[in-house]
Structure 1
Amino acid sequence: MSRDDVAAVVAELTLAEKVGLVHGTVDAEGTATGFVSGVERVGIPPIRLTDGPLGVRTDEPATAFPSSPALAATFDPDLAERFGRALGREATARGQDVLLGPGTNLIRVPHCGRNFEYFSEDPIHAGAFAAAVTEGIQSAGVVATPKHYAANNQETGRAEVSAEAAEPVLRELYLPAFRDAVEAGAGSVMSSYNRVNGTYASEHERLLTDVLKGEWGFDGYVVSDWFGTESVVDSATAGLDLQMPGITVPELLESMGIPPESLGGIGGGPDGTESEGDSPQGLFDAAEDSPFAGGMPDPTSGGRYATDLGPAVERGDVPESRLDDMVTRILRSLDAVGHLDGETSDDGEASGDEKAGALDTPEHRDLAATVATRGSVLLENDGVLPLADEADVAVVGPNVDEALLGGGGSSEVTPFVRTTPREGIEARAAGAVTVARGLPRVEGISMFDAMGGAGGPATEDADAPDDGADAGPGESVEVEDAVAAAAAADVAVVFVRDRATEAADRDSLRLPGRQDELVAAVADAADETVVVANASGPIETPWRDAVDAVLAAWYPGQAHGEAAAAVLYGDADPGGRLPVTFAPEDAYPTADERRFPGVDGEASYDEGLLVGYRHFDATDAEPTYPFGHGRSYAEFRYDAVEAVGPSTVEATVSNGGDRPGREVVQAYVEAPDAADIPDTADTSGTPGDRPRPPRELAGFAAVALDPGESATVEIDLDDRAFGRYDESAGWTVDSGAYVVEVGRSSRDFRGRVSVER
């Protein structure tokens, strides 16, 4: 359908029909996260929207892929494009038209409960993955929705907190990944709950209209986060195009199949309606001492497009031309993926061969396992890995009998299959395997627990103690049991985990419960100890000097056990590199409460550009493991590094070891004025007086090498690594010579070259 055709369809619609296309309503089939009624009279079918970034979340199973940091740790955008295409194909197979992902926010706060949905602390790295996943989703005939625009970098108080960030900081750090996703063809962008410099993102005309739709040329639509609209007129005129979910709390409960009375009064009166004296938060109300306090939206605060937008248009408060634009943008994006061509049946299931939907295919299972293995980051290895096939192994950890699929919230997925660490190692080991959990199961946490368990597969209790959860009747799970098993084995492999969820932030980077104590005790008893850390992001590792190997394996998804065994036994090289810096929690710039969680409803971003590795490079703070770090079973040598132009460098890399491996070659641009950077930086000044980080990632490339093999890797340098943003001049680049450092991480360089700009 051409633009003229879309315009002709819009011209045929009545005011009521147009309003009906810009807000959600109840999905009678109960298969979608969000649902928009079509207009059968003019051939517009219903629109179904589904979570999420780690797998398709409906009421049916789907492939549960690894978390976003695991994908980003591969430093392989081609793999990310395949990941996105698989998400799109599974969404199509479930009759969904729009997928609410990828998560595109920068990882600013290491405690952020939703970091497992985001890619990286670096904007160029995050943008490469946001673009690749977006391209993959769209290529499968599904609208991608990068989220949450913009500066949604914490869950604490996310419904109200204002990210106070200077324009250059937004432009250089927090917006680039969204622009990359838009340029990759995203048909939709989701606005965030939070405020940006005092204005709610859903009614931020500067961000939605001037930047996104104007400067970037985005011709798709902006959708609100669920219950994330704070107004009708202000949001519509600012650039919000689709309000979600567009229904009341009782209707939401009904769509979930939950009788309102079963929630014990949460959400209003016994019939689900709000009664005098009830909290306006209704279903989403959280006690002040709840981990979800301030993280849940107010579903009654902003008015409803369904009832209020039409009258606003009739009064002239919202021009009808703006409503036409809202509808046009939605239809244009849906037409681009074939949704207006009749390729989806009335019951929501994909029909015909036009949209090649597929679920739980061998390809998707292999892809989930590949991401989990290639994204595993070997932080330490004193020669214990890979494990000998015949080694007697003690498998230790409170959660060795479950696959860690992800964090809590809207990205939760129920898989068709899963393998646990115990199962993976028992299937692979040739020696004896002894399992000793050592501690009771560490319970996960989910925002759905604050909703009476509504809305997802989460069954874990948010209030369960994380050091003494249900161990089963009569079962003794003591640290001493694990110590005995470790002492009797050749090697102990300890699996540990954190707890993370949407709508709440982690209260510490330490492992919950007694897991640190467990690791230390096992390491003291065992001949050799390996720790596998399944985490949403950075954790503290107080026991690292006592163990022989540390593997950061993130949330591995359904292939948890399979992937762990493959890496531990050397069937796959741990090809991952850190997309975030690991450090003690008081070493991050957000250790200042003004910056996180904020004071008086404002989170100051006055650290400026010094986020992640930029902060550690610019200050005396030492990371435990730097951005880009990761070891291999191979032994790589950099034979030559040279510049082949102003925008390209080459590195010749050899594998001098006896095992195949995969090296990630990273290029960092050193700023000409990076010297003498203060501990904090106000980046609100002009390009000439704003301090810069000492270096910034400009590009990367991966290469797989067999023993004795060498290859020359070419890295294209992103222009943005040389640029600065000024509010009056826009993007500028200082002319002169720039040093480009090439190596294995942000702290491990193997060559330096100079390029002219």
Structure 2
Amino acid sequence: MTLRTLVTLILSLIIFNNYGQTNPFFPPVSYEEADKRAKVILQQMTLEEKVELLAGDDMLIRGLKRFNIPSVTTADATQGVRLAWDEQGKIKWNVGIEKSTAFPAPILLASTWNTDIAYDYARSIGEECRAGKIRFLLGPGMNIYRISQCGRNFEYFGEDPFLAARIIENYVIGLQSTGTVATLKHFLGNQTEFKRRRSNTVVDERTLHEIYMPAFEAGIDAGAMAVMAAYNQINGEWCGESNYVINKLLRKDLGFKWLVMSDWWSVYNGEKVTRSGLDLEMPWATALKEIKKDVEEGKILKSDIDRMAKSILRTCFAMNLYDDYKSEIKAKINYDNHEQVALKTAREGIVLLKNSQDILPISKNGTSKILVTGKYVDKMARGGGAAFVKGYNNIILLDALKKEFGNRIQYIENPDIDELKKADIVLVSTGTFDEEGSDRPFTLPDKDENLILKIVEANKNTVVIVNSGSGIHMTNWAPKAAAILYCWYPGQTGNIALAEILSGKVNPSGKLPISIEKRFEDTPGYPYLPNGEELTDTTPEHEHPVYNVHYKEGIFVGYRWHDSKKIEPLFPFGFGLSYSAFSYKKLKVTPNSFIADQPVVISVEVKNTGSVAGAEVVQVYVSDVEATVPRPEKELKGFTKVYLKPGESKKIEMKLDKRSFSYWDVDSKGWKAEPGKYNILVGSSSRNIKLHKEVNIK
């Protein structure tokens, strides 16, 4: 390991402010040196070798045998290493590991509001990648949550660009500190999985910069070395073929200078691909299959091919991906530690949404009879597609509950009314199976919905456990449930965390990274399907006409939408209960009058007024009181998670900068903070503001 690499690893661990931002990752070989190495090879390559390099080989980025450059292995996805298994139970690809840890879904990671966990989570995944000879992780996925029906929401980090950015920058640094490349995806505007290769996102410039690009910006600023273009079109052009999307938005506006690849089978026109700023077509040459002929006919320039090949080589040289990693590959993976990281993530990311009359926690040493039933009691709850991770040591909910509560647990698959009434407490599991390639209804299937309604009517002490990748319709039964726990897809050890929360061994501290609406019609993206079509439409994707998805709400996504339309969500963004209670006081803003470029320090005192130790997420929102352009009622611009013993108080400080007060000005093509009055709002959710102060930008 070089001195530069060692210093980078050390620096990437240092937290330097309350946003959780860390020092960015720097590759072991500088851009300039990697560029020189790539140039030397490029000058010796034949046209055939260059062309071969520009298209993948299934999950491989091709090598160059003549130059002793090996192929480079990629793997999905964000929540762990997806190992593809054949029908005989053998791993399809030649990787160096036989198992990988199934971490909680990224949306649960976002629910922790804990940037330190994001680093540990990603570093653990990176360690498994390196041991498995995997050089590129095809993640993190980071598209903003716009509609609850999107099948890939569980792979992403919620509805707010600031929260997503803070989690993602730490993810990138943690992953790349192991020498594994982070691939930010899917750039850009990929918020639906319905006929995803046929959707055209119609969206304005300001919305792109304020809502859909900040997470990518944060990942790039953190040092991400690869980006994957999305399946969809942006304003009429396929993302992987769009000069506007890649060269303008990604490379110019966000300053990205490393490798850009296509998503699988997502580009069609070789001429446009070579001019767009894309470097690599995956998984094979389809758009680029006639590239040699196109060069001969003058349709594709040799200079564009050189640019693409050089970018691939430069990125791999910068990360030392062509070097011999045998000593590192032989190193033993600390799977036990990775399981503990997964467990800690689940403990902090499960969200308690309701707890009537403090029915939770359930005394571990009590005598109450607990009836368990529902969907994910005897099988694991997880998402599918490229994000699927099989895991090992998978703990089903029933086993976790029996270990925590012993013989008080009674599992009945189909309980009758009498059995439900006789139970002291009923735990009912429900949820959805989400995956890429399709969206799913906001409402639960009738069978699941009717089961919950039957149970909450029969027993007032019903705890509903939800496993899903995004919000679901709960309006009919939420008022009647005694408690609701939102567990997302909690990974291989997540049911242990759930049992510990139920017993009070763990005090829940998760907060929603999304708003959960009362009905799907309350979401800003409704309606989005083509007229007359249903989610169950069976038309093959390639036969479906391109259809427009109009982002008519602009910057008003999630809680911004609900605030602007005066819509009361069922559960608001940032919301989550605890077994503790917290008070806020002594809000101070220093200075309270300043020029836009001057940093502002927010301080507030938080006290645990409860009887048990717990954690609170202190959230800072900014409101532009005198805006000359439409702006949200409030926008998240700071947060920190604080751990407090009973009766303990802590002073929390956070910094705001010019960007915290700015909007994207389409005239100047930059961020603008207007002079005038702003409100600093501090609270425990977007709808529970405890303190506020007015400040002034001169």
What's the TM-score, normalizing by structure 2? 0.87
How many percent of aligned residue pairs carry the same amino acid? 33
2:632 to 663, 673, 693: 693
Q: Kindly indicate whether residue 18 of structure 2 is the aligned counterpart of residue 9 of structure 1.
A: no
Separation in structure 1 between the aligned mates of residue 445 and residue 495 of structure 2, nearest angstrom:
21
Please state how far the C-alpha of 1:430 moved relative to its aligned partner: 4.5
Report the secondary structure of 2:693's partner residue: strand
Report the secondary structure of 2:442's partner residue: coil
- Letter matched to residue 663 of structure 1: E
Pairing of 1:39-54 with structure 2 (within 5 A): 39-54=64-79
1:640 to 583, 586, 593: 586
Unaligned runs of 5+ in 1: 27-33, 248-302, 344-350, 439-478, 675-687
8 A contact 1:587–1:622 mirrored in 2: no
Separation in structure 2 between the aligned mates of residue 16 and residue 408 of structure 1, nearest angstrom:
38
Separation in structure 2 between the aligned mates of residue 185 and residue 158 of structure 1, nearest angstrom:
29
Separation in structure 2 between the aligned mates of residue 207 and residue 527 of structure 1, nearest angstrom:
53
8 A contact 2:37–2:314 mirrored in 1: no
Deviation per residue, 1:698-738 (Å, 9 max, x gap): 11111011111111112233543421212230221101231
- Letter matched to residue 510 of structure 1: T
Separation in structure 1 between the aligned mates of residue 127 and residue 565 of structure 2, nearest angstrom:
46
- Letter matched to residue 384 of structure 1: I
Deviation per residue, 1:608-628 (Å, 9 max, x gap): 111100011111211000000
Deviation per residue, 1:256-306 (Å, 9 max, x gap): xxxxxxxxxxxxxxxxxxxxxxxxxxxxxxxxxxxxxxxxxxxxxxx342x
Report the secondary structure of 2:576's partner residue: coil
Pairing of 1:394-433 with structure 2 (within 5 A): 394-404=371-381, 406-430=382-406, 432-433=408-409
Q: Kindly indicate whether residue 266 of structure 2 is the aligned counterpart of residue 228 of structure 1.
A: yes
Mean alpha-carbon deviation: is it higher for 310-319 or for 550-559?
310-319
Pairing of 1:273-352 with structure 2 (within 5 A): 303-305=286-288, 307-343=289-325, 351-352=326-327
8 A contact 2:624–2:677 mirrored in 1: no
- Letter matched to residue 644 of structure 1: T
1:23 to 27, 52, 55: 55
Aligned to 1:255: none
Please state how far the C-alpha of 1:600 moved relative to its aligned partner: 6.7
- Letter matched to residue 414 of structure 1: K
2:568 to 617, 622, 625: 622
Separation in structure 1 between the aligned mates of residue 245 and residue 547 of structure 2, nearest angstrom:
20
Q: Kindly indicate whether residue 526 of structure 2 is the aligned counterpart of residue 573 of structure 1.
A: no
Please state how far the C-alpha of 1:186 moved relative to its aligned partner: 1.1
8 A contact 1:698–1:717 mirrored in 2: yes
Separation in structure 2 between the aligned mates of residue 69 and residue 75 of structure 1, nearest angstrom:
10
2:623 to 670, 685, 688: 670
Alpha-carbon RMSD: 2.0
Mean alpha-carbon deviation: is it higher for 736-745 or for 311-320?
311-320
Separation in structure 1 between the aligned mates of residue 465 and residue 686 of structure 2, nearest angstrom:
23
Separation in structure 2 between the aligned mates of residue 394 and residue 561 of structure 1, nearest angstrom:
17
Pairing of 1:179-578 with structure 2 (within 5 A): 179-246=217-284, 303-305=286-288, 307-343=289-325, 351-353=326-328, 359=333, 361-382=335-356, 383-389=358-364, 390=366, 391-404=368-381, 406-430=382-406, 432-438=408-414, 479-480=415-416, 483-506=417-440, 508-541=441-474, 542-578=476-512
Aligned to 1:471: none
1:660 to 605, 613, 617: 613
Aligned to 1:751: 691
- Letter matched to residue 196 of structure 1: I
8 A contact 2:141–2:184 mirrored in 1: yes
Please state how far the C-alpha of 1:240 moved relative to its aligned partner: 1.1
Separation in structure 1 between the aligned mates of residue 459 and residue 638 of structure 2, nearest angstrom:
41
- In structure 2, relative to structure 1, the CA distance for the partners of 1:242 and 1:115 (3 Å cut) is same
- Letter matched to residue 355 of structure 2: N
Separation in structure 1 between the aligned mates of residue 68 and residue 528 of structure 2, nearest angstrom:
53
- In structure 2, relative to structure 1, the CA distance for the partners of 1:172 and 1:357 (3 Å cut) is farther
Aligned to 2:10: none
1:132 to 170, 184, 198: 170
Separation in structure 2 between the aligned mates of residue 87 and residue 716 of structure 1, nearest angstrom:
31
Aligned to 2:646: 707
8 A contact 1:87–1:137 mirrored in 2: yes
Q: Kindly indicate whether residue 520 of structure 2 is the aligned counterpart of residue 585 of structure 1.
A: yes
8 A contact 2:342–2:494 mirrored in 1: no
8 A contact 1:89–1:357 mirrored in 2: no
Report the secondary structure of 1:130's partner residue: helix
Separation in structure 1 between the aligned mates of residue 676 and residue 133 of structure 2, nearest angstrom:
54
- In structure 2, relative to structure 1, the CA distance for the partners of 1:358 and 1:224 (3 Å cut) is farther
8 A contact 1:89–1:356 mirrored in 2: no
Deviation per residue, 1:326-384 (Å, 9 max, x gap): 122222222233212222xxxxxxx213x686656111101111111210111111201
Report the secondary structure of 1:514's partner residue: helix
Report the secondary structure of 2:385's partner residue: coil
Please state how far the C-alpha of 1:519 moved relative to its aligned partner: 1.8
Aligned to 2:677: 737
- Letter matched to residue 253 of structure 2: E
Please state how far the C-alpha of 1:745 moved relative to its aligned partner: 0.3
- Letter matched to residue 433 of structure 1: I
8 A contact 2:637–2:656 mirrored in 1: yes
Report the secondary structure of 1:556's partner residue: coil
- Letter matched to residue 4 of structure 1: K
Separation in structure 1 between the aligned mates of residue 626 and residue 305 of structure 2, nearest angstrom:
48
- Letter matched to residue 695 of structure 1: K
Please state how far the C-alpha of 1:215 moved relative to its aligned partner: 2.7
Report the secondary structure of 1:575's partner residue: coil
Aligned to 1:159: 197
Aligned to 2:596: none
Deviation per residue, 1:37-56 (Å, 9 max, x gap): 21132232111111111111
Unaligned runs of 5+ in 2: 1-28, 85-90, 92-98, 535-544, 592-598
- Letter matched to residue 745 of structure 1: S
8 A contact 1:673–1:692 mirrored in 2: no
8 A contact 1:673–1:691 mirrored in 2: no
Separation in structure 1 between the aligned mates of residue 295 and residue 625 of structure 2, nearest angstrom:
53
Report the secondary structure of 1:363's partner residue: helix
8 A contact 1:64–1:557 mirrored in 2: yes
- Letter matched to residue 535 of structure 1: S
Separation in structure 2 between the aligned mates of residue 569 and residue 510 of structure 1, nearest angstrom:
30
- In structure 2, relative to structure 1, the CA distance for the partners of 1:139 and 1:356 (3 Å cut) is farther
Report the secondary structure of 2:149's partner residue: coil
Mean alpha-carbon deviation: is it higher for 226-235 or for 207-216?
207-216
Report the secondary structure of 1:236's partner residue: helix
Separation in structure 2 between the aligned mates of residue 657 and residue 427 of structure 1, nearest angstrom:
28
Deviation per residue, 1:307-339 (Å, 9 max, x gap): 322333344333322222212222222223321
Report the secondary structure of 1:159's partner residue: helix
